[in-house]
Amino acid sequence: MKRLGAGSRHRIGLTLNGREAGGWAEPRMLLSDFLRHALGATGTHVGCEHGVCGACTVRLDGAPVRACLTLAVQADGRRVDTVEGLAPEGELNDLQKAFRRHHALQCGFCTPGILMSLDAWLDGRPAPDEGEIRELLSGHLCRCTGYGGIVAAALEAARAARAGDVGEDD
Amino acid sequence: MSTLGTARERVEDAALLMGRGRYIDDMPTAPGTGHAAILRSPHPHARLLEIDAAAALALPGVHAVVTGADARAWSTPFLVGVRQPMEHWCIATDRVRYAGEPVAVVVAEDRYRAEDALALIDVRYEPQPAIVDPEAALGPDAPALHEAMGGNLVSERDFRYGEPEAAFAQAPHTVTTTVRYPRNTCTPIECLGLIAAYDPGEGVYDVLSPFQGPMTLHPVMARALKVPGPRLRLRSVPESGGSFGVKQALFPLIVAMALAARKAERPVKWIEDRLEHLLAATSATNRVTRIEAAVEGDGRIAALRLDQLEDCGAYLRAPEPATLYRNHGNLTGPYRIAHLAVTNRVVLTNKTPTGLNRGFGGPQLYYALERLMQRIAVTLDLDPLDVIRRNLVAGDAMPYRAAAGAVLDAGDFPATLDYGASEGALDALRAKRDAARAEGRLYGIGLAAAVESSISNMGYITTVLSAEERRKAGPKDGAVSHATVAVDPLGAVTVTADSMPQGQGHRTVLAQVVGDALGLAPEQVTVALEHDSQRDPWSIAAGNYSSRFAGAVTGAAHLAAVRVREHLARIASQRLNCPAEDVRFEDGRIFGAANPENDLDFRRVASLPHWSPGSLPDGVPPALRETARWTPPELTPPTDDDRVNSSAAYGFIFDFCGVEVDRLTGAVTIDRYVTTHDAGRRLNPALVDGQIRGAFAHAVGAAFYEELAYADDGSFLSGTLADYLVPTTCEVLDPLILHRDVPSPVTPLGAKGVGEGNCMTTPVCLANAVADALEAAIPDLPLTPARIAAVIHGPEGAPPTEAPPGR
Amino acid sequence: MKPAPFDYLRADDEEEAVAALAEAGDDARLLAGGQTLMPMLNMRLVEPAVLIDISRLPGRAGIEDDGTLIEVGAAATQASLEAWPPLSARAPLLARALPLIGHVQTRSRGTVCGSIAFADPSAELSLCLATLGGEVVLRSRAGTRTLPAAAFQTGMLSTACRADEMVAAVRFPAAEPGAGYAFTEFARRHGDFAIVAVAAIAQENGIRIGVGGACERPVVQDWPPLAGSALDDALDALAWSLDAADDHHASARYRRELVRGLGKRAVQAAQETRP
């Protein structure tokens, strides 16, 4: 059994966007705070700290989760993917480009969480329809866009991924 | 190649999509920066007897605890917009007047510890009776929030334009309705936040934040901090995670945290959490409006009478009561109504103080006015479209001076209405409604029209004062905007301006505007909008509010760019051997109109004022940098008879929609929504539509979901995002957006504001549709399923007397 | 909005978890998916001295079907149950209810057992367990006991689980041949807790109906086959019997109306889906 005392900081190691990363955290530190303030990965945003707004959504071992409802110690030894990993070479990926093309963001604060949800979800779904995408995105709040551009961008990214798959098969 | 008017992708997006935005919580901090948490009153109304912070201060890692005593020592109460003996301190001193009012600030080495310390502060309160209902707050027995004031009424003014009494006496019909607009808030996904520092050497407070203005609040803050203006240095961050007006509410916290930094002797960072935000950041005003029209048999309105009771919460916080007066000049909306009587009262209650919130007064006004239009149609058995059309200001009447003073600048409202109705297929929607009703379904159509005011007159708020008081105070008017276009030694162009954007894409539009004037691609123009009140030009009108960007800020940028172009044309004319008027700027080249092949590189010409001021033609300044200031001359002070042109430009909106109400649950499904806009010249149509979609989503929330609710005893009921319901992708459909543009003659580029209009039209349009579906009186917003169901279900049968069939 | 300090224990197996629980008693809370507990910690509504993380208990992350009962372990997420291939054939009621629980991003960590352990009156899984007549496996250092759903959930947010016990697993009865299942609810927004939820099971010789959200805990009734006005009468009686309460979101009367209307939809849908 692993026991970590309340008052002290403990070493947390994880794989962040494919690279080993580590820092110190008290047991109570939220993963969202750890990513942002211990690891400097400030692309993950904090909007409500009670799991509703979705801004802090990251992938934990591949699955989209709320970083504000996860303790940093729970991510010890695991794989965490954040928005910073989507364009590692500074070149936007297809989903990000679709967001830009469809004006799917304004202030951009909710955007990283939405991208991470879609990134995880589109992996497993080759041909989502609009209803499915809206249902997925209902786990995120956006106050700027009215969602129309986000849905359009997600549909386009899914189409692009399908076309890419077909191309590879050929 | 001009890019103005084209849907350019945004220069902001790449960084934001990569997670490289720089919001307040991402900004670097100095070593040793303390982190603040705020102890907030659990009581809606109480005397503050004693604060004991010893245990909190003894907690390791706690640097300071700041209380009302410190506020008294180093600050003064905030200025109030009306003459009333009301003390509003940045931290409560002897009394708390709303649940969530700051009572103490803890500064500690991190936020976790700061919150630990909050629990150790011992505060003794003596609870007082609280009042939350604005009408009850006026009663003789209502508890007074501010004892020195005697009661809770802070302002009352009567206005009379034309001959309203005679018009009401003569009209064959009078139609009246009373509506109560609820408290709601636009809740940006990023909460408030700031980093404050104090330099004891020079006595300068320096605060970095996403404060958006209006900069009328800068003198309010500086006065509260007892420093000359330049010693309150406000700097804005590159990115703001949304605001919709809400981040105006940073200003009292800027003062509180400035004091905290002074007391803790270190910079202090404060990031508001969502519970604080919902409880105590700000709110739209709740308003009770009784509205009455004198109406001819064909629906023409001869006169209008408005009785508005505005609830500003526990304090009249600057710029309130601006919500009530922002639309004063255009209280008659898009309609030609010559006679108008208005009674405005402002009341205080034990709720969070109000402030800027998308639409700012428009949602409250049009909820009353457009419900009335629907009531007129129903009462007189007229087509609601006809009632609207018959009352609209005609196209050939523009510019039109409305009864209370607004000068509607441009537009053809009836033509826009007809365009929207035909392009949006209103007839087909009516056929659909008929078919649905024939099947016994509850289907309704709603309509709404509005003028969308933009670029506020800095003098409108003084309409709350009498003419006599205004004369004493001195004139207030105008709406100054600033923009600077600079050229660097390599001929590259930079733009700065007095806007603090919150995600609208202002950098993209300014790059388009300035690039357009100089014959450059937007990518060749760098726009930097981090504002520094010590170094950048600004006026009291600066900031990002009242939809001033599209008309005013781009206008100033355009004027500055044109001046730069004129200077460059004179330099080039020497080399091209042609008159300066004939010099053309295109695709990064400069040439004479008669000889396009003989061209010069923009960068070579543009860099000359740096490298060789001595060789410049007369009148061309060295080191080219032009700052333009623009203010619309149409914005004059209120007249002695209280007429005011409260805004510079007035867009027009006509909306209609079809909704279906579920007979069992009372839930409303929006089947179709069409919104038609005259926003003047659209500088980037994609961003215009983005504003419309965003405001529409806020409005769906206001119509059906969102309310900052209070119990009768003043306790707050909407403290989490599981209680304050923000609509998601599953609740917001994509509206059909139509445009019919009539450029404004007032703004330099012909653009009108567009960011707020659907917050004004959409809630009432949806409410009208629900009223049409139910064919009954409807409850007030938000139209929750339970409230609607109470209308549909009628009385409930008696409980059965027989035993149920089994267990 | 940050949690108060706590010691963090990650249990490597169930024995460790219950031993730690026995030691810490009321000062400890179990952390599984955290989708309810973490907001409460962040808001400091609970301040346990010890947090025992059971989200990675080996052997308790799985779903097992013994032919009669489907057992879901303490660490199994709602997402894993949703993705369990035989779900729609073996547990059609759960297949209908799971997509209505929160969102993809919360089901990915939220556990089935955690939801039932919290006993929210509106929780879909508690309603499913009650309507199906499932059971809850409670483990303490003293041993293991199994309670029927009706005995487990005792009221609003309260259960028969003792401070030294953990919900080690829940067991849902598998689909019965010839039965039809339906689940319907009304929530303000997609993913919100239901104002009223109804589960219905239709068989040749009777109907079972369960109602959640209307009162402190799910209510389940067994009826003979009913239709038409007899069904309406039964639903009316059920609605009145619930002792529904007024709150900020809805009146008792509104909830009764939803019980009548949603109940009818659910019963009819269950009857129609009978094979």
Kindly tell me if the per-residue pLDDT of A88 is higher than 90.
no
Q: Is 0.90 surpassed by the pTM of this model?
A: yes
Question: Does residue C123 lie in a domain region?
Answer: yes
| CB B654, CB B716: distance < 8 Å | no
Q: Which residue from B minimizes the CA distance to A90?
A: B18
Count of C-beta atoms within a 10 Å radius of residue B475:
12
Dist. CA B697–CA A146, nearest whole Å:
5
The answer on pLDDT for A36 being more than 70 is yes
- CA B289/CA B330 separation, integer angstroms: 16
Band (B283; pLDDT cuts 50, 70, 90): very high
Residues of B within 8 A of A141 (CB-CB) are 189, 721, 726, 728
Q: Which residues of B touch A138 (CB under 8 A)?
A: 728-730
Identify all chain C residues contacting A30, using CB atoms and an 8 Å cutoff.
2-3, 42
| CA B441 – CA B431 distance, rounded (Å) | 14
**Interatomic CA distance for residues B503 and B497, integer angstroms:** 15
**Residue B243: strand, helix, or coil:** coil
Reduced to 3 states (helix: H, G, I; strand: E, B; else coil), residue B18 is coil
Question: Rounded to a whole number, what is the distance in Å from the CA of C261 to chain A's nearest CA?
Answer: 25
Task: Using an 8 Å CB-CB cutoff, list chain C residues near B804.
Answer: 221, 234, 237-238, 241
Between CA B222 and CA B204 the distance in angstroms is: 10
Comparing A85-89, B43-47, B452-456, the range with the smallest average pLDDT is A85-89
Residue C211: give the domain boundaries: 180-272
- In terms of Cα–Cα distance, which of B76, B63, B67 is closest to B268? B63
Asked if B771 contacts B446 with a C-beta cutoff of 8 angstroms, the reply is yes
Asked, for residue C22, whether it belongs to a domain, the answer is yes
| Residue A7 reports pLDDT greater than 90 | no
Name chain B contacts of A44, Cβ cutoff 8 Å: 19
Interface contact flag, A50 C39, Cβ < 8 Å: yes
Q: C51 touching A, CB under 8 A?
A: yes
Cα of B59 to nearest chain A Cα, Å: 13
Same domain as C142, residue C239:
no
Give the closest residue to B96 by CA, choosing from B707, B708, B720, B714: B714
- Minimal Cα–Cα distance from B733 to chain A, Å? 7
The pLDDT score that the predictor gives to residue B253 is 98
Using alpha carbons, select from B643, B635, B652, B654 the residue that is nearest to residue B746.
B635
Q: Identify whether residues C102 and C141 lie together within a single domain.
A: yes
Same fold, A10-85 and A94-169: no
Please judge whether C188 and B115 are an interchain contact, meaning their C-beta atoms are less than 8 angstroms apart: no
The residue whose two tokens read 């939820």 is: C197
Q: B748 with B558: CB under 8 angstroms?
A: yes
Give the mean pLDDT of B278-303: 98
**One domain for residues C164 and C191:** no
* Chain C residues in contact with A69 (beta carbon < 8 A): 34-35, 38-39, 106, 109
Residues B240, B754: Cα–Cα separation, whole Å: 19
Q: Under DSSP, is residue B602 helix (H, G, I), strand (E, B) or coil?
A: helix
C133 & C222 share domain: no
Write down the pLDDT at residue B23. Answer: 98
Does residue A168 carry a pLDDT above 60?
Answer: no
Confidence at residue A166, expressed as pLDDT on a 0 to 100 scale: 53
Residue ranges, CATH 3.30.365.10, chain B: 286-460+636-793, 481-630
Phi, psi of B290, deg, nearest 5: -105, 125
All residues of chain B having their beta carbon less than 8 Å from the beta carbon of residue A86 are: 17-19
Q: Comparing C-alpha atoms, which of A87, A89, A128, A130 is closest to residue A111?
A: A87
- Distance of alpha carbon B504 from alpha carbon B387, whole angstroms: 35
**Helix/strand/coil (H, E, C) string of chain A?**
CEEECCCCCEEEEEEECCEEEEEEECCCCEHHHHHHHHCCCCCCCCCCCCCCCCCCEEEECCEEEEHHHCEHHHHCCCEEECHHHCCCCCCCCHHHHHHHHCCCCCCCCCHHHHHHHHHHHHHHCCCCCHHHHHHHHCCCCCCCCCCHHHHHHHHHHHHHHHHHHHHHHC
Closest CA to B76 of B250, B223, B215, B257: B223
CATH number for the domain that contains residue C93: 3.30.465.10
Interface test with A, best of C44, C104, C105, C109 (most A CBs within 10 A): C105
Q: How far apart are CA C162 and CA C147, in angstroms?
A: 12
The residue-averaged pLDDT of B194-207 equals 98
User: pLDDT tens, B468-490?
Assistant: 999 999 999 999 999 999 999 99
Q: Does C240 touch chain A (CB under 8 A)?
A: no
Is the domain B13-128+186-281 a CATH 3.90.1170.50 member?
Answer: yes
Query: pLDDT digit string (tens) for C244-273?
Result: 888 877 899 999 999 999 999 999 999 999
Residue B464 is given by DSSP the state: G
The enclosing H or E element of B589 equals: strand B589-592
Please report the pLDDT score of residue B48 as a whole number: 98
Confidence grade of residue B758 (pLDDT, cut at 50, 70, 90):
very high
Task: Give the separation between CA B315 and CA B313, rounded to whole angstroms.
Answer: 6
Whether residues A135 and C49 touch (CB distance < 8 A) is answered with no
Chains that touch C (3 or more CB pairs under 8 A): A, B
- Look at C105 and A117 and tell me if their CB atoms are within 8 Å: yes
Predicted confidence (pLDDT) per residue in C187-197, tens digit: 999 999 999 99
CATH C-level class of B481-630: alpha beta
Only one residue has tokens 């995880």, namely A120
Q: Which CATH architecture has domain A94-169?
A: Orthogonal Bundle (1.10)
Closest listed residue to residue C224, CA positions, set C208, C239, C200, C235: C208
pLDDT at B805 over 70: no
pLDDT at B807: 46
Retrieve residue A4's tokens. Answer: 């970590």
Q: What is the DSSP letter of B26?
A: G
What is the distance in angstroms between the Cα of B115 and the nearest Cα belonging to chain C? Answer: 7
Predicted pLDDT of residue C8: 97
- Identify the CATH number of the domain in which residue C213 sits: 3.30.390.50
Q: Which residues pair with B527 in a beta bridge?
A: B495
Nearest to B695 by CA among B655, B723, B661, B665: B655
Portion 168-207 of C in contact with A at CB < 8 A: 189-191
- Do residues C168 and C188 both lie within one domain? no
DSSP designation for B20? -
Considering chain B, what percentage of its residues have pLDDT values greater than 70? 99
Just give the CATH number of B286-460+636-793. Answer: 3.30.365.10
Same domain (yes/no): C140, C206: no
Domain boundary among C123, C151, C173: C173
Question: Are C154 and C219 contained in the same domain?
Answer: no
Q: Who among A29, A86, A143 is closest to B188 (CB)?
A: A143
Q: How far is B67 from chain C (nearest CA, A)?
A: 21
pLDDT given for residue A169 in this prediction: 40
Structure tokens at B614: 């001595």
Average pLDDT, stretch B687-695? 98
Query: Residues B284, B285, B286, B290: what is their CA dihedral angle, to the nearest 10 degrees?
Result: -130
Task: Walk across the sheet containing B286-295 and list its strands.
Answer: B153-161, B339-347, B301-311, B286-295, B173-181
Query: Residue B436 pLDDT > 90, yes or no?
Result: yes
Distance CA B651, CA B660 (A): 30
**Contact yes or no for B789 and C254 at CB 8 A:** yes
Q: Three-state DSSP class for B597?
A: strand
For residue B794, what pLDDT is reported? 83
Report the candidate in C179, C266, C250, C189 with the shortest Cα–Cα distance to residue C214.
Answer: C250
> Which stretches of B662-785 are assigned E, i.e. beta strand?
668-678, 736-739
Type of residue found at B517? A
Q: What is the mean pLDDT of residues B640-659?
A: 98
Question: pLDDT value at position A125?
Answer: 83
Rounded to an integer, what is the distance from CA B469 to the centroid of its chain?
Answer: 27
Q: Strands C7-10 and B46-52, how do they pair?
A: unpaired
**Domain definitions of chain A by residue range:** 10-85, 94-169
Type and span of the H or E element at C53: strand C50-53
Asked if A1 lies within 8 A of C190 by C-beta distance, the reply is no
Query: CB contacts < 8 Å between A and B, how many?
Result: 174
Reported residue count of chain A is 170
Interface test with B, best of C36, C185, C203, C248 (most B CBs within 10 A): C248
As for the ipTM of the complex, it is 0.97
> Can you name the CATH fold of A10-85?
Ubiquitin-like (UB roll) (3.10.20)
Question: Above 80 in pLDDT, residue C240?
Answer: yes
What does the pLDDT look like over B60-116, one tens digit per residue?
999 999 999 999 999 999 999 888 899 999 999 999 999 999 999 999 999 999 999
Task: State how far Cα B520 lies from the chain centre.
Answer: 33
Residue B364 φ then ψ, to 5°: -65, -45
Per-residue model confidence (pLDDT) at position B10: 98
Query: Which residues have a Cβ under 8 Å from the Cβ of B595 and sit 6 or more positions away?
Result: B576, B578
Whole-number average pLDDT of chain A = 94
- Widest Cα–Cα separation across chain C: 59
Strands C69-73 and C135-140: unpaired
Task: Assess if residue C228 is contained within a domain.
Answer: yes
Residue B804 clears pLDDT 90, i.e. is over it:
no
Q: Distance (Å, rounded) from C-alpha B286 to C-alpha B780?
A: 12
Q: What is the pLDDT of residues B723-750, one digit of tens each?
A: 999 999 999 999 999 999 999 999 999 9
- H runs (alpha helix) in B266-361: 274-276, 322-325
Question: Tell me, what's the pLDDT at B803?
Answer: 59
Please state, in angstroms and rounded to a whole number, the distance separating the CA atoms of residues B187 and B249. 12
pLDDT (0 to 100) of residue B802: 65
The 3-state secondary structure of C98-124 reads HHHCCCHHHHCCCEHHHHHHHCCCCCH
Picking from C37, A50, C222, the residue whose alpha carbon sits closest to that of residue B806 is C222
Q: Mean pLDDT throughout A137-153?
A: 98
pLDDT for the residue numbered C244? 87
Neighbours of B802 (CB within 10 A): 7
The answer on pLDDT for B22 being more than 60 is: yes
pLDDT of residue B83: 86
Q: How far is A148 from chain C (nearest CA, A)?
A: 17
